[in-house]
Amino acid sequence: MESKQAQVEATMRLAPVIPVVIIDDVKAAVPMARALVAGGTPAIEVTLRTPAALDAIRAITQEVEGACVGVGTVLHAEHLAAAKAAGARFAVSPGVSPKLLDAADDSDLPLLPGAATASEVMHLLERGYRFLKFFPAVPAGGTKLLGAWASPLPQIKFCPTGGISLSTASDFLALPNVLCVGGSWLTPADKLKAGDWAAIELLAREAASLKG
């Protein structure tokens, strides 16, 4: 568990923002990932929300030097196994269930599990998790809730995701218990569809320069 936690922490410290990506066309995966890496955001979460996701992860893993690609929207053991087989380096879940945590214990794929309440955070701490996704960040309470957790739960570090934008990311990054944020604004659907990789690289550069 400690080895996997160290891997999650290292991934969270690669850049201030982890791009959260929904890919409909696998042909867009490699040039998109190259643009994100060139812009300074090498940790990329490809969500399992489309049929192209696993093929996209496989392509990025094989073809994009410097990318640390992970799988998002992991809900059960089968997702973990498929992500590992595709070459993912980390997994992210919107929440947790006992079965998912048991599967994660048996897998060597590091998991960044989601939590939205103090009770969920405490449960995950009992299971050995010190690095968590706070989701959905803005609807669940935003910076006020995360800031309130910093004192009673100082050993937990978060990647808040959900409703965060370029203009609000720095507010989260300024919190002592936040290592990075997750954001979907780096890969907007219109830019992916148009193949505007220069625009995506620029968005990545803006995100990579953020400070708390």
- Asked about 27 being catalytic, the answer comes back as no
Helix, strand, or coil here: 85? helix
Rounded to whole angstroms, the Cα distance separating 89 from 6 reads 13
Helix, strand, or coil here: 62? helix
- Asked about 193 being catalytic, the answer comes back as no
Closest CA to 9 of 50, 62, 67, 68: 68
Which amino acid type is present at position 90?
Answer: F
CA angle 93, 97, 102 (to 5 degrees): 95
Catalytic residue among 2, 4, 45, 206: 45
Catalytic residue among 65, 99, 126, 133: 133
Helix, strand, or coil here: 68? strand
**Which sequence positions are flagged as catalytic?**
45, 133
